[in-house]
Chains A and B, each alone.
Chain A
Amino acid sequence: MNLNDKNTEKYIKAFETYFNGSVSQPFHKVRQQAASNFEKLGFPTTKKEEWRFTNIASIAKADFKIAEKKNAPTVSLEDIEPFLLANWQGARIVFIDGFYSEHLSDIKNISDKITLEPLSSHFEGKAGLVNKNLSKIATFDDEAFTALNTAFTTEGCLVHIPAKVVENNGIHIIHIAASGRTLTNPRNMILCEDNSQALVIESYHTLCTDDVFVNSVTEISVGENTRLYHYKLQDESLKSNHISNVAINQKSNSNYISASFIFGGKLVRNNISTKLDGEGISSTLNGLYISREDQHIDNNTFIDHAKPHCESHELYRGILMDKSKGVFSGKILVRQDAQKTDAKQSNNCLLLYEDAQIDAKPQLEIYADDVKCTHGATVGQLDESAMFYFRARGIPKEKALSMLTYAFAEEIITGIKDDSLRDRVEYLLLDRLKSHQA
């Protein structure tokens, strides 16, 4: 019918020849299913309500080849130096184009009960963590990009925190897209069993000057009475197309605290969906993004309150500059059983300099009566009187502007549990503001 379908077909054809030797894996059945679902769904168009404000035709049309392990370039520790967090105390696992790089990874400082390794070592054999859990939370029935990722899932990262393990040192997963004109499908699975605690940072970077298409999927299971801090830092080049799907399942009395920081990417879409599948759950989804030039950043969150006595907090802040475009859609569903739900959502956008554009679509869908649900959305500029206050005290305009903008973002940054990440995010934010003024 159109180019869109032709490209869907292209990936399907690639799928048929992509796998040699791994066809016998039990997981391959899931891949096949995902491929056929992707074929059926095709790339979404703006006619679909969820994609109303984000047109991904440029991705669908472009000619990306699928990343292969044998083509992944050699990357040295020096190359990735800028992506490492200063004073980092925890473990590090690095993936180039979605494939595990042993010599760059540094798995230490964490309990030896924790499994931190590529998924691929678990594909053989029938039973096991991976085959039991992979693709169970991040389903691909209706999500074309998850289906595409699943069809090409070969390595990816597995984080397994067994029951009763409390790990204070963090785990840093680094995904680097190093080959240009390539589609990479990073995949992460984070399984936290009952009564455990962990901190996981995912960060995404590019090491090439060409266009790339990064299509990542992260699946997270948070067991009973478990606490997980989960941060995502995306600082890819302005030539990257970044689509990410994060799916979370929480059990009773668990606490999931997350924040995503988006600095890079030309066309960015983040889907986060969390299911509160038990009582007494607390879930926090925060986000901060700063966009410039012609970046398009779309954040899409979905919180499913399925059981009573749960709370969710959502705070998204965006700073938009130049001709960039921001989109936020946040949906909160409160099911009939989910009495005593307390859900808060707030989305604030700061439009700096002319031509920036924002579309927001907060949604509440509520079927239980004894609940407290609120959402708020604001779009505006820096307060003129605050600006005047600074100027009256001899602070130059640029400096005043960056101070006020920093103050706007500060609430999310101070909430970061890990010091090294907080420093990095702070640095990146100030750097973006400074480079814009220069």
Chain B
Amino acid sequence: MSSETEELESLANQEYKYGFVTDIEADALPPGLDEGTVRAISAIKKEPAFMTEWRLKSYKKWLKMEEPKWPKVEYPEIDFQDMVYYSAPKTTPKYESLDEVDPELLKTYKKLGIPLEEQKILAGVAVDAVFDSVSVATTFKEKLSELGIIFCPISEALQNHPDLVKKYLGSVVPATDNFYAALNSAVFSDGSFVYVPKGVRCPMELSTYFRINAQNTGQFERTLIVADEGSYVSYLEGCTAPQRDENQLHAAVVELIALKDAEIKYSTVQNWYPGDENGKGGIYNFVTKRGICHENAKISWTQVETGSAITWKYPSVILKGDNSIGEFYSVAMTNNYQQADTGTKMIHIGKNTKSNIVSKGISAGKSNNSYRGLVKVMKSAENARNFSQCDSLLIGDKCGAHTFPYIEVNNTSGKVEHEATTSKIGEDQIFYCNQRGLDTEQAVSLIVNGYCKEVFRELPMEFAIEAQNLLSISLEGSVG
């Protein structure tokens, strides 16, 4: 097995393929955070007064809060005064066609493999590309607006649809929810806003590509998706970031609202810079994602997490309405010194609510990968049903895999099942493949693909390919 181990190690140690910096001048505020910074961000965005108030209120709450220490991750103290809270590409133009877009930027996307030019040909993908904090290109908008669907940067939504934003912003993740959510509420720079009207089925997958670019810029994205009664939307979020030596903080907030009979599908591929093989650099990813389901609604989270030095993320669903459904599918891969503490929360409040959790963790190198989840069945949730499965694969003897599931059932008609396994790839499985002419690496890739299939199956077509690419870089080779 030793040569196999070497081979796997060499593959696992491949350099981050997407590490580069685009040279575009950034329009940034000086580092530091005080009331002035919050006001300045709000002013730059030309936000309505209620928004400035809301930001300031969040900021004041944040000052009184403490950084959470309970996740199983370790990192040096973050100096919140040493960060730039706003940075936008110097020109914030509205392009009519792709030709007008800064060629430097297009080149970056090309390197990343984002087929921006092809998007008009590729049927059905509207991309709202967020470069650092300001959207530079929005396509397919017209087609969507015909159906009454609003898909735009949240700053634009604040200008054009302030009532909608005011009604729903902070309704699922209140500003005081946690330390990072409060910080985000105070200083969020931009993000996406989606509104799907009653009974409309969004004809295409909506997607954004987030990139962290300017050095030392904390990225504070805010996403708000509202699916009105009987509507359907599938949203894709994908991330890659340039190679940096200093840790960058990313504290996003995502809120989903599925009204009666609506369905939201939210998929993420996250491949931010995880730091080098000595654990230097990398992104800190502290994200709050939560959705609320009204009657008969459904929210489904799918995530493929391969990047970031530290991931701290628990996409949750509040099953408030009767007969609502929450789903969570996750593949989390950690290598070198990466640390991931991720999982989900399913809060059953309504009757006949159902939730399904599938989590696949893979740890290699010296990394630590934890699943932390909560399934809570409230007194009111008659006939609630949950099934959870958390599997972990370990590669190498210096990594760790942990599971911390919490189950709280307050209703005797509830049925909750939880299963977890931890193992390495069986030598017999590899032997079986070898015997049939597959070399060890192919065998490992086959087995791991099979291991993750349950989750990949849930990804939209557009993402399935990217997920597989990510696996081939950071996953396949390192498993053995």
Contact = CB atoms under 8 A, between A and B. Distances in A.
A373 B407 contact: no
Given A351-B414, A361-B406, A380-B415, A369 B420 contact: no
Of A351, A356, A364, A370, most B-chain CB atoms within 10 Å: A364
B412 A355 contact: yes
A67 B419 CA distance: 45
B397 A351 contact: no
Contact of A336 (B397, B407, B411, B423): B397
A359 B420 contact: no
Given A372-B423, A376-B419, A376-B420, A361 B397 contact: no
B459 to A, nearest CB: 27
B407 A360 contact: yes
Contacts of B396: 369
B397 A339 contact: yes
B413 A381 contact: yes
Majority secondary structure of chain B interface residues (helix, strand, loop or mixed): strand
A51 to B, nearest CB: 14
A366 B394 contact: yes
B404 A361 contact: yes
Given A336-B397, A355-B412, A364-B403, A378 B424 contact: no
Nearest to B418: A377
Of B394, B411, B422, most A-chain CB atoms within 10 Å: B422
A373 B397 CA distance: 15
Interface string B39-80: 000000000000000000000000000000010000000000
Contacts, number: 116
A411 interface: no
Contacts of B424: 369-371
Given A336-B397, A368-B394, A369-B397, A362 B420 contact: yes
Given A354-B412, A380-B415, A380-B416, A369 B407 contact: no
Interface in B370-415: 392, 394-415
A143 B26 CA distance: 55
A343 to B, nearest CB: 9
A379 B421 CA distance: 18
A104 B414 CA distance: 48
Contacts of B394: 366, 368-371
A354 to B, nearest CB: 5
A366 B417 contact: no
Given A358-B407, A370-B424, A365 B402 contact: yes
A375 interface: yes
B390 to A, nearest CB: 9
Of A357, A366, A380, most B-chain CB atoms within 10 Å: A366
Interface string A309-343: 00000000000100000000000000010010000
Interface in B16-56: none
A376 B418 contact: yes
Contacts of B392: 364, 366
Contacts of A360: 405-408, 418
A381 B415 contact: yes
Interface of A: 49, 53, 320, 336, 339, 349, 351-381
5 closest A-B pairs by CB: A369-B394, A351-B412, A360-B407, A373-B422, A377-B418
22 contacts: A351-B409, A351-B412, A353-B412, A354-B412, A357-B408, A357-B409, A358-B407, A358-B408, A360-B408, A363-B405, A366-B392, A366-B400, A368-B394, A369-B394, A372-B422, A373-B422, A373-B423, A374-B419, A377-B419, A378-B417, A381-B413, A381-B415
Interface of B: 70, 392, 394-424
Given A359-B408, A366-B400, A369-B395, 16 more contacts: A53-B408, A339-B397, A354-B411, A358-B409, A361-B407, A363-B404, A366-B422, A367-B399, A369-B394, A369-B424, A370-B397, A373-B422, A376-B417, A377-B407, A377-B418, A378-B415
